Structure 1
């Protein structure tokens, strides 16, 4: 590290996983790069068998499929090695604070141990990027239109600038659709099998199935029958309104009919 002073090791790490839920998804690939104050480096990259099917949408992102990890070790078998590389080091990565650290700590807890975090300092490159590189309308005007936004936070100026930015975006990116219908679909992608717009629930074999949390891949009807309290918790929590409509319907005993075909 040329520009960062280290007083103890700094471990950069990244996880490829079965999904984006740090509370329930599993690791399919891990990479750790440990940088020491004297400049030495240790690195490790391994694939793991998550002991569950890898969803197609996850494989489409990281390119790792069930057959790629079928003969790989599970997390339990390699946990001691990972703990040895991470323990006693400060941690870094991209979005590690919100995703990678919570997920790997949960993996450790699932096998009866933990990654100690007392005194561990976390440097998240994504936090630096978001705080140092503005992503507001002024930045968009500068990037797409090559000028400064005059009268920022005046409603009239903001609206006019937004219209210009959108037109410039369409001119810049040839692959963007040029109809409102198609562009809205691009901005708000919905899975074909989704029950709700946010995709918290999907149709699978004519049953509504969770795509998140501890009941991932279980049917909504079975969870309603076994743990109504969990569904009531969803209603009280910060979930999209359309997802809550599905949950409320389940609690009321009026689940929608599956799509035909």
Structure 2
């Protein structure tokens, strides 16, 4: 089947939405597993998502225009940004009130309500450290969110590979990340 698919794609360009981060790497990987060198060097690769992200900015000025229908004057001044952020947040609550929210993976995580604690838990439900290096899993355990240990509980990794703690503490990680790592380590000593 891989050979048939390879022939089908022979001499074609590839296009889609989010294809550069998902579909094309997956396709190339599967061809390589089947022993077929699917060369993308001579193909045009088009990703509508990349154009969307380039053209539709993700910043406060754009959010203010989208949610409030206004142009942000004096962007990056503390007062203007604070007022615009408040108005964007207020508009988001009004627009999405009662609607189900999904995370980036499409999982339903809750209903939008005008309640600070509930919104906080929806937005930050899995966050352990501010850099996002650690997240909570479904069991409430702090887990690595990067590298070879991704998805593994921190306590388990520190127990199985004690040197991992030193590597991270000496590495270029934010101090908040190191603090959270130390808290998990100390908890292992029942301190």
TM bin, normalised by shorter chain, reads: 0.5 to 0.7
Counterpart position of 2:25: 102
State the shift of 1:209 in Å. Answer: 7.2
Q: Please point out which of 58, 61, 79 is paired with 1:138.
A: 61
Structure 2 match to 1:157: 80
Rounded Cα–Cα distance in structure 2 between residues aligned with 1:187 and 1:113? 43
When you count strand as a share of all residues, which structure comes out higher?
1
Separation in structure 2 between the aligned mates of residue 216 and residue 185 of structure 1, nearest angstrom: 22
What is the CA-CA distance between 1:201 and the residue it aligns to? Answer: 7.1
Report the structure, 1 or 2, having the larger helix content.
Answer: 2
Q: Unaligned 5+ residue runs, structure 1?
A: 1-77
User: Could you state the TM-score of these two structures normalised by the residue count of structure 2?
Assistant: 0.64
TM-score, normalization by structure 1? 0.49
8 Å Cα contact 2:28/2:38 also seen in 1? yes
Alpha-carbon spacing, 1:241–1:105, altered in 2? closer, same or farther (3 Å): farther
Answer 1 or 2: higher relative contact order, Cα 8 Å, separation at least 6.
1
Q: Answer whether contact 1:87 1:115 (CA < 8 A) is retained.
A: no
| CA apart distance, 1:171 | 1.2
Q: Who is 2:36 aligned against?
A: 113
Number of aligned residues: 168
Cα RMSD for the two superposed structures: 4.0
Provide Cα deviations, 1:212-232, integer angstroms capped at 9, x if missing partner. 66666776369738xx68x95
